Amino acid sequence: MSFLAPFAFAFAASIPVVIVFYLLKRKRVVKLVSSTLLWQKFLADTQASAPFQKLRKNWLLYLQLLLLALAVLALTRPFFATEAQPAQLRVVILDGSASMQATDESPSRFERARVEALKWVDSLEPTDQMVVLLAAANTEVKQSATSEKAALRRALQACAPADSPTRLVPALKMAESLVRDRRSAEIHLFSDGAVGDLTEFENKALPLIYHKVGQRAENLGITALDARANPEDPTQRAIYAGVANFSSNTLSADLELYFQAGGASSRTLLETRPLTIPGGQAAPQVFKSLQESDGVFSVRLTGRDDLAADNEASIVSLLPKPVSVLLVTRGNRLLEKALRAVGGVQLAVANDLADAAATFDFVVLDGVQPGEWPKGNVLAFRTVNTNWIGRVSSVEGPVIVDWKSTHPLLRYAGFDNVQIVQSLTPDPSIGTPPWAIAILEAPQAPLILAGDLGRQRLVWVGFDPLESNWPLRVSFPIFIANAVDWLNPANAKSSQLLIKAGDPFRLALAEPVKTAEVKSPDGKTTMLNVEGANEIIFGETARRGVYHLRAGTNEVAFAANLLDAAESNILPRDELKFGEYTRVAATTVQRTNMELWRTLAAIGLAVLLFEWWWYHRRTV
């Protein structure tokens, strides 16, 4: 045991004073009585010449001495030091993602995490330092390295959770850079453990201490939202909402559909649908509604659960417009037929790319090398622009091993039993170009690339569909329909109007403006200086809801939502996985250098109360 204030032992000098009071004789009061026969013993005491008496057994004395000893010990602030050495630097990461708003902890997980982090501030040694990081929509340094406890407390009190998914990777990277090459440094993560892939830290040997927050997973959440033309009735819109129950119990709620027309001050309730979903299951819902103008569809769950951030979501729905497509081919009838089968497509077919290509929404190049490449969106089959891909190589009979079914281009499109005779692929020495992601892959290299190059959206297919059995599979017309939807500039604009909470919103400017303003869902207005810029970037989207941006004569509404199944699964994790073999279990270690003065003071109070009870028991 050690003492933070050993000089307080000087108060122990008061212990003999208490004993002296018990050695002193009492001052007697003279009384007149008729006879002293029965008072002889009393007279003997009063006639004693010595001022002190023999110390007798007295429980009151013992209790008072014990109370005084406890008070002295409390003043010396004793503590037990554990085997762990005090860290010279502690990096505290407070998880501020949406799941930390769950109310299974009182009043919330985030507040519980803050309280625990404040306890570590209280136990900080004068020679130690602490850094406070908030991992919310973005990683924020709330307090740089300092030993000042007041500044650390203010930094933790200034932290607030966001409606965004968990983004711990940037925070861990920053913390790793702070503790690198420091032996006595620790990273303290206060989180519920609902994190994504942390494989890149598998070999980093982070000195991470994981403090788990949370108790259960009683949550019913909206995980997906989309609005499209109803394929059965083009005059209607089909609104798809994915609802999942992440608890082990059956939960019930009402799912409400609202619509707010552009410029309207309020929204209208269109439909209410009761839901009862068993534990661990999902219930996709499809609503059908007429839409006469551009507006915002919103879905809302009315049931009570532990997380409110995923109980409502919104999407901006623009009225569909016909898409004009130019197909440049030398006679691919199957491709032409697949394009004409897509609803709303106005198709033109040519043998060569003409100047009129600029008037089309996007161009399809089928094995044609144009003299001048189109400036708009492009779907290219077996044709290469060196600005897209530096060098290509040819692969005979590539075997398809993987495809990204989550990408919009491959939604509902599978590639089982698809065989290819020959395909172009990016040269392995160069790899996938930085603008693209591979959505269909062979062992040698990717076969289909998709991405944005500047303001141009590109889909590159390395093989000729006629040199495969793909046109005979149902995935081919599905892929073409998805490509028309993805490459349509109007739909691309609609997809830009739906973002994840915390992601920046981008809007290209058709004409220069000097200022812009954004009205947040809470009514706050933010002014932006965009003079000389050709694009507006707004990053303060940590809150879920509908934002309204005004730039010059343009007014745009966009929605920020959680829509993340991993985040809605609020079950606290007992360990964090760093790759296949590395695990960090939730800690049960108590804080080092635990002070005992509070315990001693409490015992002293109990002794004082016992003395009071004993005295009244003897005198009553």
Domain-wise residue ranges, the chain: 2-78, 89-215+572-592, 220-315+563-568, 323-488, 494-561
Q: What is the DSSP letter of 137?
A: S
Residue whose C-alpha is closest to residue 354's, from 381, 374, 384: 374
* 271 within 8 A of 241, measured Cβ to Cβ: no
Beta bridge partners of residue 255, listed in sequence order: 273, 301
CB-based contacts of 547, cutoff 8 Å, min separation 6: 505, 518, 519, 520, 521, 538, 541, 557, 558, 559, 560
User: What pLDDT is attached to residue 50?
Assistant: 55
Full-model pTM: 0.70
Q: What is the DSSP letter of 100?
A: G
3-class secondary structure, 263: coil
Ranges in the chain, pLDDT < 70: 1, 4, 21-60, 79-87, 354-358, 588-595, 597, 614-616, 618-620
User: What pLDDT is attached to residue 287?
Assistant: 95
User: Helix H segments across 192-237?
Assistant: none
Which amino acid, 9? F
Report in angstroms the alpha-carbon separations of 60 from 18, 72, 619: 11, 18, 13
Domain 220-315+563-568 is found in CATH 2.60.40.10: yes
3-class secondary structure, 173: helix
Residue whose C-alpha is closest to residue 142's, from 93, 97, 80: 93
What is the distance between the alpha carbons of residues 246 and 241, in angstroms, rounded to a whole number? 16
Residue 3 φ/ψ region, left for φ over 0, alpha for ψ in the -120 to 50 degree band, beta for the rest: beta
Dig out the tokens for 3 from the structure.
């003492």
* 264 within 8 A of 304, measured Cβ to Cβ: no
3-class secondary structure, 11: helix
User: What pLDDT is attached to residue 472?
Assistant: 92
User: What pLDDT is attached to residue 512?
Assistant: 84
Dig out the tokens for 232 from the structure.
């059965």
* 360 within 8 A of 377, measured Cβ to Cβ: no
What is the distance between the alpha carbons of residues 115 and 490, in angstroms, rounded to a whole number? 48
User: What pLDDT is attached to residue 455?
Assistant: 80
Measured from the Cβ of residue 17, the count of other Cβ atoms closer than 10 Å reads 9
* 447 within 8 A of 425, measured Cβ to Cβ: yes
Protein fold of 323-488: Rossmann fold (3.40.50)
Chain centre distance of CA 393: 42
Degrees (nearest 5) of the Cα angle 148, 151, 153? 110
3-class secondary structure, 119: helix
What is the distance between the alpha carbons of residues 520 and 538, in angstroms, rounded to a whole number? 11
323-488: same fold as 89-215+572-592?
yes
User: What pLDDT is attached to residue 504?
Assistant: 93
Report in angstroms the alpha-carbon separations of 388 from 383, 391, 451, 459: 10, 9, 10, 10
User: What pLDDT is attached to residue 36?
Assistant: 53
Domain 494-561 is found in CATH 2.60.40.1930: yes
Q: May I ask the CATH class of domain 89-215+572-592? A: alpha beta
* 300 within 8 A of 294, measured Cβ to Cβ: no
* 88 within 8 A of 127, measured Cβ to Cβ: yes
